[in-house]
Amino acid sequence: MNKYLKIIYCVAICLTVGYLSSNVTQSSITTWYPIIKKPVYNPPNWVFAPVWTLLFIMMGIAAGLIWNKLETSKDLVKKGDGTRIVHDVEIVNVVAIQKGTKFPNRFIIMSGDIDSRVSDPTDFTSDSPGANDNASGMAGTIEAARVLSKYKLITVLFMLVYRAKNKDSMAEKA
């Protein structure tokens, strides 16, 4: 399927879900919305429809981009694509999602990255301070995923382990 069709398809799904959800909840809004305590900076009611529509469109675009990205599970970064890339390398990100049982719109996000290097960015054979940046974050995320996978959580849990994030790193290619 064409990458633009995937995005259009995802936007259509998100807008349809938003439309159906608004129809289901519309009648109950008059009972609870007027009585909640709102902050001083509360926008006027007419703002909500275009903002929610834009949010659903953006969610669809994001879903389509992710779908397109999933078509290729690995990225091949060629030598010379950055000053730190001295030979061709395949890189990946790992994402795990555990659905929440009670609060599907609340999230816990744990992540770690690996981008440790020595002073010379082209030296990939010497020891580097990976425990400082950020193997400890990766280890904690992976261990938490292992332990928490045995439990049903009430909120959504995102676990991310991703490639280099620093300036002039491969993350700029993501």
DSSP code, position 35: G
Using DSSP's 3-state secondary structure scheme, residue 168 falls into: coil
**Where exactly are the structural domains of the chain?**
3-70, 75-173
The separation between CA 40 and the C-alpha centre of its own chain, rounded to angstroms, equals: 32
Q: How far apart (Å, rounded) are the C-alpha atoms in residues 127 and 121?
A: 12
Per-residue pLDDT tens for 109-137? 887 776 666 667 667 677 665 555 566 77
The separation between CA 86 and the C-alpha centre of its own chain, rounded to angstroms, equals: 29
| pLDDT confidence bin for 65, thresholds 50/70/90 | confident
User: Do 153 and 100 form a contact (C-beta atoms < 8 A)?
Assistant: yes
Per-residue pLDDT tens for 161-172? 776 555 444 444
List, in sequence order, every beta strand (DSSP E) within the chain: 75-77, 89-91, 94-98, 103-113, 155-162
Q: How far apart (Å, rounded) are the C-alpha atoms in residues 61 and 10?
A: 7
pLDDT at 169: 46
Q: What is the pTM of this model?
A: 0.42
Q: How far apart (Å, rounded) are the C-alpha atoms in residues 52 and 14?
A: 11
| Bigger pLDDT: 11 vs 81 | 11
